Chains A and B, each alone.
Chain A
Amino acid sequence: MTCDSNVKWPLSGEVKRNRKVTDNHYHLVLHAGKEYLSSSPGQFLMIRPGGRDVSLLGRPMSIYAVNKDGDGACVEVLYRVAGRGTGLMAQLKEGEMVGVVGPLGKGFTLYRDKKRVVLVAGGVGVAPLTFLAKAYRNLPETGSVEVVSYIGARSGTCIVGKGELGSIGRVSVSSDDGTCGHHGLVTDLFAKDLGVFEEDETAVYACGPSPMLKKMQEIMRDRSFIVQASLEERMACGIGACLGCVVRVKRGGYARVCTEGPVFNLKEVCFD
Chain B
Amino acid sequence: MTDRADRPPRMEVTIGRGLTLKNPVMAASGTFGYGEEFARYVDLNSLGAIVVKGLSLEPASGNPPPRIMETPCGMLNSIGLQNVGVKAFLAEKLPFLRDYDTAVIANIFGETVDEYARLSEILSGAPGLKAVEVNVSCPNVEKGGIAFGSDPDRVAEVTRAVKGSVDLPVIVKLSPNVTDIALIAEAAEGAGADAVSLINTLKGMSIDVERKVPHIGKVIGGLSGPAIRPIALRMVWEVVNRVSIPVIGIGGIVDGNDALQFLIAGARAVQVGTANFMDPMATTKVLEGITNYMYRHSVRDINDLIGTLRV
Contacts and interface: CB of A to CB of B under 8 A. Distances in A.
A57 B225 CA distance: 10
A253 B61 contact: yes
A188 B163 CA distance: 62
Contact of B41 (A9, A84, A235): A9
B38 A55 contact: no
Contact of A57 (B43, B255, B277, B280): B277
A122 to B, nearest CB: 19
Interface of A: 1-3, 5-9, 11, 48, 52, 55-58, 84-85, 99, 101, 233-237, 239-248, 252-254, 272
B99 A55 contact: no
Interface residues of B, number: 43
A242 B70 CA distance: 13
B290 to A, nearest CB: 16
A9 B43 CA distance: 11
B33 A240 contact: yes
B106 to A, nearest CB: 16
Nearest to A242: B277
B304 interface: no
A3 B44 contact: yes
A7 B39 contact: yes
A55 B277 contact: no
Interface in B29-88: 30-33, 37-45, 53, 61-62, 64-70, 73-75, 77, 79, 82
Nearest to A1: B99
Given A242-B277, A254-B82, A5 B39 contact: yes
B70 A3 contact: no
B101 interface: yes
Contacts, number: 116
B281 interface: yes
Nearest to B217: A272
A242 B79 contact: yes
Contacts of B40: 7, 9
B37 A239 contact: yes
Instruction: Say what secondary structure dominates the interface of chain A.
Output: loop
Nearest to A236: B277
Given A5-B43, A5-B44, A11 B280 contact: yes
Contact of A48 (B33, B77, B278): B278
Closest 9 CB pairs of A and B: A244-B68, A241-B33, A236-B277, A237-B277, A253-B61, A55-B73, A3-B99, A241-B37, A2-B101
A151 B40 CA distance: 36
B45 A5 contact: yes
Given A253-B61, A254-B62, 12 more contacts: A3-B45, A7-B40, A9-B40, A9-B41, A11-B281, A55-B254, A55-B278, A56-B70, A236-B75, A237-B31, A237-B276, A246-B65
